[in-house]
């Protein structure tokens, strides 16, 4: 089930992102930034009968500018990968972008083939506005990042 994240989910999202950031697969987020950007997050939750709900995936849609948003912090627990969880999370964020009237959504990714399947196209990072780079400056990989910039545009 996909739903908007709530305050009680922040620590689970933090742990999920930390797990993948320690592998160098995405940019980690502080607890403070997750609380600040809580409204950006959609999560996938799994509940087995008789067990507690677990946050198995997360993805954020961050509005950057008038007609531009970013898909960020996409992470799915290994045991849920290959089951369309990531696809569903990104599609949920794209629907949200459309509801906001945003027709251009970009991502910076190490998984370009995943985003290609969802209709994202490769672009040069220099095509993105300077405002986008505020997070990048704080990244330990800056300026030698090898993430690929991709964009989705509503037809």
- Whether 153 has a pLDDT exceeding 90, the answer reads yes
Give residue 53's pLDDT.
86
Q: What percent of the chain has pLDDT over 70?
A: 87
120 phi/psi in degrees, rounded to 5? -80, 145
Global confidence as pTM: 0.89
Give me 139's structure tokens.
Answer: 């990244």
Structure confidence by residue, pLDDT tens digits, 98-122: 999 999 999 999 899 999 999 999 9
Residue 152: what are its φ and ψ, rounded to 5°?
-115, 135
Three-state DSSP string of 120-154: CEECCHHHCCHHHHHCHHHCCCCCCCCCEEEEEEC
Domains of the chain: 2-153 (3.40.630.30)
């Amino acid at each position: 089930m996909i739903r908007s994240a709530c305050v009680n989910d922040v620590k689970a999202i933090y742990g999920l992102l930390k797990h993948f950031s320690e592998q160098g697969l995405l940019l980690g987020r502080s607890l403070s930034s997750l609380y600040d950007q809580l409204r950006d997050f959609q999560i996938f939750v799994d509940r087995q009968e008789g067990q507690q709900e677990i946050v198995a995936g997360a993805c954020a849609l961050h509005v950057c500018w008038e007609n531009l948003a970013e898909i960020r912090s996409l992470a799915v627990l290994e045991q849920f990968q290959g089951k369309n969880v990531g696809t569903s999370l990104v599609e949920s964020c794209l629907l949200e972008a459309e509801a906001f009237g945003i027709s251009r959504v970009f991502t910076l990714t190490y998984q370009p083939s995943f985003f290609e399947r969802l209709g994202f196209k490769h672009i040069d990072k220099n095509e993105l506005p300077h405002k986008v780079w505020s997070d990048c400056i704080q990244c330990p990989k800056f300026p030698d990042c090898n993430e690929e910039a991709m964009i989705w545009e509503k037809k």
